[in-house]
């Protein structure tokens, strides 16, 4: 959901997080709740034909203790991480 932050716990295994449909200015944040993304990562999937970093592909979060905020720019660039 745009405007929300999520603490993702992968201590039980890898997970997939689905981004909402992109609307200019939409923001979604994820944080590594249990500091386990280096061994059990998170796959971030864009909605439909949306992009992440101007590419039509998923993003992988795999850094221990990482937190990421995705901001939707437009249909050309899609979601960008901060």
Mean pLDDT by 10 residues, the chain (82 residues): 94 97 96 98 97 97 98 97 90
In terms of Cα–Cα distance, which of 61, 69, 13 is closest to 40?
13
In terms of Cα–Cα distance, which of 46, 71, 69, 41 is closest to 56?
46
In terms of Cα–Cα distance, which of 25, 21, 66 is closest to 42?
66
For tokens 């981004």, what's the residue? 19
pLDDT of residue 69: 98
Question: Considering the entire predicted model, what is its pTM?
Answer: 0.92
Q: Which two tokens stand for residue 19?
A: 């981004």
Decide: 25 and 71 in contact? Cβ < 8 Å: yes
């Amino acid at each position: 959901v745009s405007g929300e932050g999520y603490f993702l716990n992968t201590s039980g295994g890898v997970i997939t997080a689905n981004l909402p449909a992109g609307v200019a200015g939409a923001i979604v944040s994820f944080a590594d709740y249990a500091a386990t993304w280096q061994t059990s990562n998170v796959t971030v999937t864009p909605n439909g034909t949306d992009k992440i970093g101007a590419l039509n592909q998923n993003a992988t979060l795999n850094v221990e203790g990482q937190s990421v905020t995705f901001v939707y720019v437009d249909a050309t660039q899609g979601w960008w991480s901060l």
